[in-house]
Chains A and B, each alone.
Chain A
Amino acid sequence: MKLTLRVWRQSGPQDKGAMVEYKLDDISPDASFLEMLDVLNEKLIADGGEPIAFDHDCREGICGMCSLVINGTPHGPERATTTCQLHMRKFKDGEVIDVEPWRAKAFPVVKDLVVDRSAFDRIVQSGGFISAPTGTAPEAHSTPVPKPDADRAFEAAECIGCGACVAACPNGSAALFLGAKVTHLGLMPQGQPERWDRVVSMLDTHDEEGFGGCTNTGECTVACPKGIPLDVIGRLNHDYLKATAGGKKRA
């Protein structure tokens, strides 16, 4: 395959950055998007240039590290697929492909296509946990969970925290991420003790980190590589209102 790539290059956080064009021939349609970038980087290194920095780790769609906005869509054109699991056969021969980093104030660019997503870690630290004694694994059947709740909690727990929801949102909001965490923990019996304080502190941290406000556009759920449904945001709002206006919050 012949391709023209327009890639965002930025030498560091302070650099202004710009799109740089690269031509590639002979890319296998069976290569993944990241393998295609590996080929380009080897070429750049051989030519004495600076390779393109991009995040990646497991390359099997479960770690949430890869984070590329491809032709304006986070994780590219294929639904419910991470960038690492996207293959070049999804593109046309001779296509011009734009590759950009996640764009959000809370996700500053470190270099090229790498952004700092520790804002998500701080949101999780503020409430995305349960208090349970560690070291002793209890018998799994000792705490019954209704099957529909378990299924919905599992669906929400599929969130890999990649940040595609923020990258896709016209408001730069992380409501889908918040909703996934709040739904995942809030549906399980183990998540009940912190349920009402969790939603408030996670949302407060979200706002402090500089993410935008949700207007229910639904772009997040379309971009989400795990297909987290939009109704988790409804649950987030429900729990938040109950915690604040409903007076359930303790701290």
Chain B
Amino acid sequence: MAVTGGVLVLYLVAHMIGNLKIFLGEEDFNHYAHWLRTIGEPAVPHRTVLTLIEVVLGLSVVLHMWSAVSLGKRASHARPVKYQSKKKSHAQGYAVHTMRYGGVIIALYIVWHLLDLTFFVVNPKNSDATPYERMVSDFDPSRWYITVWYVVALLLVGLHLNHGIWSAFQTLGLRTPRSHRALRGLAGAVAAVVTLGFISVPLSITFGWVS
């Protein structure tokens, strides 16, 4: 959970920084998308690095989900009879209690996101358009519901990271009484920066700040 989650967090940070290129203009953004496919050329063939990233990422997602499912299964075996009394404890805040259902929603969101901007199945444009055109038409003001869907999913990602990053340090035994506050702060800061960075792109397009 912790190791695969760590890989995914690092990817998210890189992906978020890449997305922000949209604010540098159409040419920069398209150039960035092209560069991703040509890293290391001509030493390595076209799309080598990107494919490698995709493989590591896919593997991490699968193993992350597998860990979550096995933990969930163990949990239901460990308590076959449930409590009658309904209580809501948020010992470490609300985020902890969104990890499982939130994770499922995030997984569904990733499927949509791939169909949208990787395979162009649910995107208004197709593979003839430039990446910039696809982004801008995707979050067009007339398609505000797509923007809402992205924002909701990204807020869930933020909650997921807020607990997940801290929890990963604890799982890897890197948390000591002294580093507790620092690690909590780090988790909160990374979660906030990643979420706001991602959300800023669809919102800016929908509100017409980027066109």
Spell out A's residues near B (CB within 8 Å).
Answer: 6, 8, 19, 69, 71-73, 98, 100, 103-106, 152, 168, 170-173, 210-213, 215-219, 221-222, 229-231, 233-242
With the chains together, A234 CA to B89 CA distance in Å? 22
Is B87 in contact with A73, judged by CB distance below 8 angstroms?
yes
- A170: chain B residues at CB < 8 Å are 75
| Chain B residues with a Cβ closer than 8 Å to the other chain, count | 35
Cβ of B167 < 8 Å from any Cβ of A? yes
Q: How far is the CA of A240 from the CA of B170 in the complex (A)?
A: 12
Question: Does A71 contact B87, Cβ atoms closer than 8 Å?
Answer: yes
Please give me the 9 A-B residue pairs with the lowest Cβ-Cβ distance, nearest first. Answer: A238-B173, A72-B87, A172-B78, A212-B78, A72-B85, A234-B175, A218-B92, A237-B173, A98-B85
B177 and A222: CB pair below 8 A?
Answer: no
Beyond A71-B87, A234-B175, 17 additional contacts (C-beta under 8 Å) are A6-B84, A72-B85, A103-B79, A105-B79, A152-B177, A171-B75, A173-B78, A212-B77, A213-B74, A215-B167, A217-B97, A219-B91, A222-B89, A231-B176, A234-B174, A235-B173, A236-B173
Identify 19 residue pairs between A and B in the complex whose beta-carbon atoms are under 8 Å apart, listed by A's number: A8-B84, A71-B87, A72-B89, A98-B84, A100-B83, A105-B77, A171-B71, A171-B75, A173-B75, A210-B77, A211-B78, A216-B92, A216-B163, A222-B89, A236-B173, A237-B171, A237-B173, A238-B174, A240-B173
Whether a CB of chain A sits under 8 angstroms from the CB of B96 is yes
Cβ A212 vs Cβ B79 within 8 A:
yes
A222: which B residues are within 8 A, CB to CB? 89, 91
- A216: chain B residues at CB < 8 Å are 92, 96, 163, 166-167, 170-171
CB-based contact B85/A71 at 8 Å: yes
Determine if B79 and A237 form an interchain contact, defined as CB atoms under 8 angstroms apart. Answer: no
Closest residue of chain B to A19 (Cβ to Cβ) is: B84
Which of A72, A215, A218, A240 interacts with B99 by CB under 8 Å?
A215
Q: A215-B99, A217-B92 are in contact. Are A171 and B84 (CB under 8 A)?
A: no
| Minimum C-beta distance from A33 to chain B (A) | 15
Report the separation of the CA atoms of residues A212 and B92 in the bound assembly, to the nearest whole angstrom.
19
A100 touching B91 by the CB < 8 A rule? no
User: Which listed residue, A73, A100, A173, A233, touches B89 by the CB 8 Å rule?
Assistant: A73
Judge whether B172 is part of the interface by a CB distance below 8 angstroms: yes
CB < 8 Å neighbour of B71 from A98, A213, A231, A236? A213
